[in-house]
């Protein structure tokens, strides 16, 4: 009996996809992805050690909350959210540009103007500016002693199910269409960069992308 249970014990290396899935949910919060992934692997190992096949649940159902818990603990133990050196330096540079623009024009620049001055995308500029904002506590009472804020969190099983359904739908697409979506939404390439890699124009990528998203939405809603 014990030998049979050992055979049913999951192997961590077979479930690294769960770590990637969970770590991706914490991207853009000031901690490099490599550190998120390493912490997620610790959670995966804990899940492997604590999983009991006799409970009758799938390993992924048990492991995802454990991995997410480890990632959340990393943020919690560090107090305020950690910010990478690259983001801090970018934020300082943007603040200097903001001040210089204000002195020269008598008003603060828009995000678009600021990103152009810095030579970075609007998304990167917005992310860098956000790290200079003081974090908002969701648990500490305010001056009026407001109660703790409860934020609804999507069940991990649903998120995994949605990801699997998305992958299955993408697998049915022609190779170039699949590459287009992977470059745009999994590798976060711009339309211009995607067009260069696929030998298309930016306009062609934009039109094809909109059409594919409509098709996939209809397919997933069926």
> What pLDDT is stored for residue 201 in this prediction?
92
- Interval 93-106 mean pLDDT: 85
Residue 79, Ramachandran bin (φ over 0: left; ψ between -120 and 50: alpha; else beta): left
Band (pLDDT 50/70/90 cuts) for residue 164 is low
How far is CA 122 from its chain centroid?
Answer: 18
Domains, the chain, ranges and CATH? 2-77 (1.20.120.1810), 85-130 (1.10.10), 156-221 (1.10.10.10)
Q: Look at residue 145 in the predicted model and tell me its pLDDT.
A: 46
**Average pLDDT rounded to a whole number, residues 190-213:** 90
Residues 25-83 pLDDT 10s:
888 777 778 888 888 888 898 888 888 888 878 888 888 999 998 888 887 765 445 55
pLDDT exceeds 50 at position 106: yes
Maximum mean pLDDT: which of 79-93, 99-113, 129-143:
99-113
Mean of the pLDDT values across residues 147-159?
Answer: 49
**Shortest CA distance to 63 belongs to which of 204, 191, 190, 157?**
157
H-helix or E-strand spanning residue 35: helix 33-50
The percent of residues above 90 in pLDDT, for the chain, comes to 8
Which pLDDT score, from 0 to 100, does residue 126 have?
Answer: 77
Please tell me which residue, 100 or 5, carries the higher pLDDT value: 100
Q: What does the alpha-carbon distance between residue 177 and residue 26 come to, in Å, rounded to a whole number?
A: 27
pLDDT at residue 150 is higher than 50: no
**Burial class for 22, CB neighbours closer than 10 Å (0-12, 13-18, 19+):** buried
| pLDDT value at residue 8 | 64
Summary mean pLDDT of the chain:
77
Residue-wise pLDDT tens digits, 49-58: 888 888 878 8
Q: What is the pLDDT of residue 196?
A: 92
Count CA atoms closer than 13 A to 60's CA, side-chain side: 17
Joined together, the tokens standing for residue 121 give 């995308």
Give me the pLDDT at residue 89, please: 78
């Amino acid at each position: 009996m014990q030998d049979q249970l050992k055979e049913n014990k999951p192997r961590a290396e077979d479930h690294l996809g769960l770590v990637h899935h969970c770590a991706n949910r914490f991207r853009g919060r000031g901690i490099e992805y490599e550190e998120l992934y390493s912490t997620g692997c610790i959670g995966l190992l804990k899940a492997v050690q604590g999983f009991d096949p006799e409970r009758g649940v799938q390993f992924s159902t048990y492991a995802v909350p454990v991995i997410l818990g480890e990632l959340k603990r990393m943020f919690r133990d560090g107090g305020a959210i950690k910010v990478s050196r690259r983001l801090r330096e970018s934020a300082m540079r943007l603040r200097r540009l903001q001040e210089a623009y204000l002195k020269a024009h008598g008003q603060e620049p828009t995000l678009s103007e600021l990103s152009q001055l810095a030579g970075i995308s609007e998304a990167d500029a917005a992310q860098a500016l956000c790290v200079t904002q003081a974090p908002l506590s969701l648990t500490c009472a305010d001056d009026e002693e407001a109660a703790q804020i409860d934020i609804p969190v999507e069940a991990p099983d649903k998120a995994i199910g949605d990801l699997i359904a998305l992958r299955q739908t993408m697998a049915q697409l022609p190779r170039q269409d699949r590459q287009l979506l992977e470059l745009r939404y999994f590798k976060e390439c711009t339309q211009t960069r995607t067009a260069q890699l696929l030998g298309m124009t930016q306009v062609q990528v934009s039109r094809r992308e909109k059409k594919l998203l409509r098709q996939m939405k209809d397919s997933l809603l069926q």
